Amino acid sequence: MIRSFRRFWRYLTAALEGTLDELLDPRVQIEQAIGEAKRRHALLAEQAAAVLGNERELDIRINRAATEAARLRASARQALVLADRARANGETTRAAGYEASAAAFAGQLTVVDASVSDLQALREKASAVSRAARRGLEQNAFALQDQLTQRARLLTQLEAAKLQERMADAVRQVTSFAPPGDTPTLATVGERIDRRFARATARGELAADALDARMLDVSRASLDIEAERRLAEIRAAMAAEDGT
């Protein structure tokens, strides 16, 4: 029972899908597929833009950190120069202050250099992700272009199929013996003309036969009159002979 129900359900599903496929407009389905492909491409482009933006942001942060490191290095060097001058002038306290400043600059420089190293490591990873995003975007753009080409080809085939269907319908209507509606076919009109021609011919033949019959009657009447005249002449001749 369960197996029969499953079989019936699969049959019903296939039948409904087949009916739905026949009802759906191919042009609408093509546009839906192209629209979905464009939507996916736009989403991928946004993701690639985010990856590229992250890479550009890391570049800005690295450049800014490098500029800060250069400033701190220059400041530490200047503090050491001033410390050496102060020590040369016997100003030990002032020299110690400059050295403390140089040490502070060096400490900050160490932090900034470490930050630059971390940012550069992130930059390398971001660069790899960026290259992958570019390749993916290029491949998807190529696939989208291919789908657009297929769209043009399918639309051309669809128009050709519609034209073929219209031509087939026209040929079927011309050659059909029983077209729908009140429109007569050429075959029907031809049969009517043949029927009228046959009837007219028959009437003509009947009329001709009647005329021949009347002409025959007239000829017979003429012969009868001529025969009676001849008979009268013979009788007159016989009477004349008897009188002599």
Which of 80-89, 142-151, 180-189, 198-207 is predicted most confidently?
Answer: 80-89
What is the tens place of the pLDDT at every residue in 119-159?
Answer: 888 888 888 888 888 888 888 888 888 888 888 888 888 88
Q: What contacts 241, CB < 8 A, 6 or more positions away?
A: none
Phi, psi of 72 (to 5 degrees): -65, -40
Radius of gyration of the chain (CA): 58
Structure confidence at residue 8 as a pLDDT band (50, 70, 90): low
Confidence of residue 213 (pLDDT cuts 50, 70, 90): low
pLDDT at 204: 62
pLDDT of residue 119: 87
Confidence band for 234, pLDDT divided at 50, 70 and 90: confident
Q: Helix 92-175 crosses helix 26-88 at what angle (to 10 degrees)?
A: 170
- Would you say residue 222 has pLDDT above 80? no
Question: Distance (Å, rounded) from C-alpha 120 to C-alpha 115?
Answer: 8
Residue 196: is its pLDDT beyond 60?
Answer: yes
- Tell me the Ramachandran region of residue 182: left when phi exceeds 0, alpha when psi lies from -120 to 50, beta otherwise: alpha
Instruction: Give mean pLDDT, residues 202-212.
Output: 62
**pLDDT for position 166:** 83
pLDDT for residue 43 is more than 50? yes
Residue 18: predicted pLDDT = 46
| Percentages (nearest 5) of helix, strand, coil residues in the chain | 95, 0, 5
Residue 142: predicted pLDDT: 84
Q: Summarize the confidence of residues 51-80 as an average pLDDT.
A: 88
Distance CA 121, CA 181 (A): 81
Q: Which of 19-28, 51-60, 117-126 has the least mean pLDDT?
A: 19-28
pLDDT score, position 29? 80
What whole-number distance in Å separates Cα of residue 140 and Cα of residue 176?
52
Instruction: Name the percent of the chain lying above pLDDT 70.
Output: 76
Q: How many residues does the chain have?
A: 244
* Mean per-residue pLDDT over the chain, rounded: 77
pLDDT of residue 15: 47
Q: What is the DSSP letter of 180?
A: S
